[in-house]
Structure 1
Amino acid sequence: MTVNGEVTVSGKRAYDVLVVGSANADLTVRVARRPGAGETVLGSDLVESAGGKGANQAAAAARLGARTALLAKVGDDAFGELLLAGQRAAGTELRHVLVERGARTGTAMIVVGPDGDNSIVVSPGANARLSPADVTDAREAVAAASVVSLQWEIPPETVRTAVALARECGTRVVLNPSPAPERLEGELLAAADPLVVNEHEARQLSGRADGGPAEWAGALRALGARSVVVTLGGDGALAADDGGTVAVAGVPVTAVDTTGAGDAFTGALATRLAAGEALADAVRFAVRVGAASVTKAGAQPSYPTPGELP
């Protein structure tokens, strides 16, 4: 039913998390060492799996039990089918995933070194065609969600439209501006609750070359962000909001592949925020999910269920 313009189920919103973002096929090769400029190295057999920041965050949230929907665009090719199958396996609602005829699905080419770190090149494909109009057409889904999670692998104007619509509908915005733009407008920062950035993104968007995570988070809040989360890889994360700044320690694990770990973190964070948890508590949970995700190969295939957390 609809109450005050919000779609609800038994008095609650129909979705915990709506992810508006990218969907890519991940093509992954493992190497003994990553090549330098002009160099060729031999790698493992190519592995094809479902990925993309938006699809990853949706899969992570769904596997954790959140009622999750994805608004994304894929091509009518084999990679598009791969992505849809991955979301079905995770338990994501797919009615808002659009299939663009004649388009190629977004593709990420990933090289993973022996330490688990990776280098990634993304070809946007159908992601570049996810338009503001597509978001406007999905207004009911935005209104039906407790949290809308966004990234920066779709057109910026589409992100802006989704943020504006979420604010109109009273839906909380989790904004992960990755890959980071040169700057974020004030209205995007003002809507971010939280802004989720890694160390490089925090330094760039805050405009501060010095200091550390607490200083970068403080600078981003001074620029208008309602709350900020800085992810620190194996060292955990930092959360900053009106309640203060909290450093959350990392969980010691043996890293196999870090691909998609940040997306696992963000999907978990959105899940707990949708459940009403305080930011610092949600970050503590998300750190555990991110740590679990690096212990297996791939992005979505590595995402844990609640029973698999360290």
Structure 2
Amino acid sequence: MMDQHIHELLVNIGTHNQSISVVGSMNADYTVFTERLPQPGETVEGGQLVILPGGKSGNQSASAAKIGAHVSLIGAVGNDSNADFLLAHLHNAGVDTQAIERLEAPSGTTVITVDSEGENTIVYSPGSNGQVTPSLVRKHSETIAQSAVLGLCLESPMDSVIEAARIAHAHNTTVLVNNSPFHEDLPEALREACDILLVNEHEMCQMLHIDEPSDEDWHNFDWDGAIQALQALQIECAVITLGAQGSVVIDHGTCTRIDSVRVQAVDTTGCGDAFMGTILAGLAAGYSLQDSAHCASYVAGFAATGHGAQASYGTVEQITALFNE
């Protein structure tokens, strides 16, 4: 059963008027399902190829919008049929797409293989996402400035990500940075403008140059040492996702464990983005980082029960119904 407090938080997300802005990527996901992932140089048989809407920023925006948040996505699509496909799905999810520009370029794409256990491999081709320039971001600075929170990932050029973070920081808009695709050394300018960092456990250890627990038990991990290492990088708040072991919220020296929720996973593609989108929605609603991460566990858990990224995201009604059965 879903915790009653979390149920109430999810139900009330859509009643708040604060908005979210997201700067970044949209991709058409070319997805094939197979019994197991191929080894290097190996060919395995797969099922029918399907095209699904994706891109980390598009996913994060769609996830937040579907649970009732007010979201504006700033980015670029190309001049191809994939652009129409991506914009239609974002619009249907409730995302404001007015700040998405169309360029003379192919839209972003990913090639995804998903095995029978729901694990995946992903290859990313930026396309029009690579042309989201600092000047394009500045054209929509008012949208960022008027938002309660800005969501960023690293599928866009780094100088554009930094520009968006600077604009938000200058207007007291909370900046949440998902270090994905992973960069071991985040530029100082981005770290200075970042309020909250979101990474998984492996990325955290690589960033901080510390060892992972040999037994993969994160309960007894030296979280105090991780906090100090993050603070040395000017990062006071972070959310560390631990896969099936849940997540950890670090908030100005305090460390809170967030349990995962149990589901029968079908496809984990986009679950991390659903988690991120929910944290954005929670923060915009005025929730604590801890409460936002609690909500995110359920939203991401629901996403794992369906195929694809945006295609697997649920409304509050669908999510609460699943976990209250």
1:41 is aligned to 2:51: no
Q: 2:64 aligns with which of 61, 66, 86?
A: 61
Tell me if structure 2 keeps the 8 A contact 1:261–1:294.
Answer: yes
Could you tell me how far apart the structure 1 residues matched to 2:228 and 2:153 are? Answer: 21
Structure 2 unpaired stretches of 5+: 1-15, 214-220
What is the letter of the counterpart of residue 151 of structure 2?
A: S
- Cross-structure match for 1:31: 34
Q: 1:159 aligns with which of 154, 158, 161?
A: 161
1:145 is aligned to 2:147: yes
What is the letter of the counterpart of residue 164 of structure 1?
A: R
Could you tell me how far apart the structure 2 residues matched to 1:151 and 1:217 are? Answer: 22
Deviation at 1:235, TM superposition (A): 1.7
Deviation at 1:221, TM superposition (A): 2.9
- Cross-structure match for 1:240: 250
What is the letter of the counterpart of residue 38 of structure 1?
A: G
Q: 1:83 aligns with which of 86, 94, 110?
A: 86
Deviation at 1:267, TM superposition (A): 0.3
Alignment of 1:57-206 (within 5 A): 57-101=60-104, 103-206=105-208
Could you tell me how far apart the structure 2 residues matched to 1:48 and 1:167 are? Answer: 36
- Cross-structure match for 1:250: 260
Deviation at 1:210, TM superposition (A): 4.2
What is the letter of the counterpart of residue 255 of structure 1?
A: A
Alignment root-mean-square deviation, CA? 1.5
Deviation at 1:41, TM superposition (A): 1.1
What is the letter of the counterpart of residue 165 of structure 2?
A: V
Tell me if structure 1 keeps the 8 A contact 2:202–2:212.
Answer: no
SS at match of 1:41: coil
Q: Deviations over 1:113-136 (max 9, x none)?
A: 111010000011000000000111
Deviation at 1:276, TM superposition (A): 1.0
- Cross-structure match for 2:12: none
Structure 1 residues 127 and 217 mapped into 2: Cα distance closer, same or farther (>3 Å)?
farther
- Cross-structure match for 2:235: 225
Tell me if structure 1 keeps the 8 A contact 2:177–2:197.
Answer: yes
Deviation at 1:243, TM superposition (A): 6.1
Deviation at 1:213, TM superposition (A): 7.6
Could you tell me how far apart the structure 2 residues matched to 1:245 and 1:295 are? Answer: 29
Deviation at 1:189, TM superposition (A): 2.2
Tell me if structure 2 keeps the 8 A contact 1:195–1:228.
Answer: yes
Tell me if structure 2 keeps the 8 A contact 1:15–1:69.
Answer: no
Structure 1 unpaired stretches of 5+: 1-12
Could you tell me how far apart the structure 2 residues matched to 1:210 and 1:295 are? Answer: 29
Q: TM-score, normalised by structure 2?
A: 0.88
Q: TM-score, normalised by structure 1?
A: 0.92
Deviation at 1:20, TM superposition (A): 0.4
Tell me if structure 2 keeps the 8 A contact 1:213–1:230.
Answer: no
Identify the structure with the greater strand proportion.
1
Q: After superposing the two structures, state which structure 1 stretch, 180-189 or 89-98, moved more.
A: 180-189
What is the letter of the counterpart of residue 62 of structure 1?
A: A
Q: Deviations over 1:239-296 (max 9, x none)?
A: 0012610000100101000000000000000100111111111111111111111010
What is the letter of the counterpart of residue 271 of structure 2?
A: A
Aligned residues between the structures = 297
Could you tell me how far apart the structure 2 residues matched to 1:166 and 1:94 are? Answer: 19
Could you tell me how far apart the structure 1 residues matched to 2:314 and 2:222 are? Answer: 27
SS at match of 2:306: coil
- Cross-structure match for 1:290: 300
